[in-house]
Amino acid sequence: MTTFKAHMKQNGQAKAFPRLTETSRLPEITKASHNRKPILITGGAGFIGTNVAHRFLSIGQPVLLYDNLSRPGVQKNLEWLQATHGDLVQIEVADVQDSKALCKAARQASKVFHLAAQVAVTSSLIEPIHDFEVNARGTLNLLEALRGLENPPPLVFTSTNKVYGDLKDVKLQMNEGRYEPVDPNLREHGFGESRPLNFHSPYGCSKGCASQYVLDYSRTFGIPAVAFHMSCIYGLHQFGNEDQGWVAHFLIKALEGSPINIFGDGRQVRDILFVEDLIDAFLLAHDHMDTLAGEAFNIGGGPANTISLLELLDIICELQGHRPETQFADWRSADQRYYVSDIQKFSTATGWSPKVNVRDGVSRLYHWLKEFHAVQSVPVLKTSEHPTRRNKSSCRIQTNGASRNGHQRAIKTASRIKRLAPIGNGKCVDRKLTKIS
């Protein structure tokens, strides 16, 4: 194990993140009810992990963050958690491929949130074996660690909507500049868990494989576990890039004054979920684990919280007073033109529903990024251009030959990108009155 202080000294990192000015909501957990054994969060320094940790740490619950610190921005998250919560934050700098370190961490846990992952479809196309080792084998390592315990702690695993494939069989139509299903039931409710699994891309395969292992270990070995097939999650502490975390990425590029690359035509639609609402769902999953174990749930903003890429540009225009410059390129592999989660199954089982709407959530993230100068302090790197791998026995970062391949791919992509002037000469426009041919 490498401690965080040793890792920070080794990598010459700067001062801690500033303290947030607004407090998180804290439903379902109280100082009187929490267990002093730590909450284990794999990928705990990432965007979602940091928010989960902050929720528990804020009521005095110790948290063990298990992270290899390979993603740009996560060390800032760790610094902020330590500055805010002090010794309640325990850190294990290790990889999920390290089964011994994972077993040691699992033995200490009262609850487990398994968030660690290789998160980009593009990176999985460059290094499919590494993608499998992290997402599928890493999850299996954790499950084996839990299976070896007499009383395994409950587990919430985060998967992806990519387990449903590219959804090209779904007939779409255009409505006010965005795609929508022809099927009125899909328009009203979104995609439910009855949708057949259809793994596309190595990333979809590895996350789908991991999800199936989680569900089967729950059924076969009695491990209390659920899997969330998640749509787009966004919120504070997110340093998105072109390959993953697109809402934050668009906002960061806008604050930089840099062009935003749009792959496809920008009319593709997603439901987006603010991270605080996701954490509420996490807590409810643990509260109802006796009845939910062995089940998968589609989790997202649902039909009430949908947005297209072009509509996000409209919101950015309202926030900034001018429209960001955009560049368009070809569609990417396995990209879904329309995906909205049907959240009825989980809502019916737990009473959960999203509380933060799209405009409020995007505004909160925009002002957080602006206030803490994330654009200036965090390198915004394309995951596929800068893949890193950590040595299993140390925290030394290794960059392999795939970075050269990713750079070459980026050059080829750039040659196909068409730079467009901002729509409406940089002025905000009403999308409903704009004809898109």
For residue 397, give the nearest of 31, 72, 33, 46 by alpha carbon: 72
The reply to whether 203 belongs to the active site is yes
Residue that is written with structure tokens 């426009």 in the block: 429
- For residues 64 and 108, is the Cβ–Cβ distance under 8 A? yes
CA angle, 89 then 93 then 95, to 5°: 130
| Planar angle of CA 65, 66, 71, nearest 5 degrees | 100
Of all residues in the chain, what percent are helix, strand and coil, respectively (each to 5)? 45, 15, 40
Provide φ and ψ at 73, rounded to 5°: 100, -20
Asked if residue 279 lies in contact with residue 52, where contact means CB atoms within 8 angstroms, the answer is yes
Query: How far apart (Å, rounded) are the C-alpha atoms in residues 381 and 383?
Result: 6
Residue 125 tokens, joined: 């196309």
One-letter amino acid of 147: R
Q: Reduce the DSSP state of residue 361 to 3 states and report it.
A: helix
Out of 164, 179, 203, 217, which one is annotated catalytic? 203
> Is the CB of residue 116 less than 8 Å from the CB of residue 139?
no
Active site residues: 203
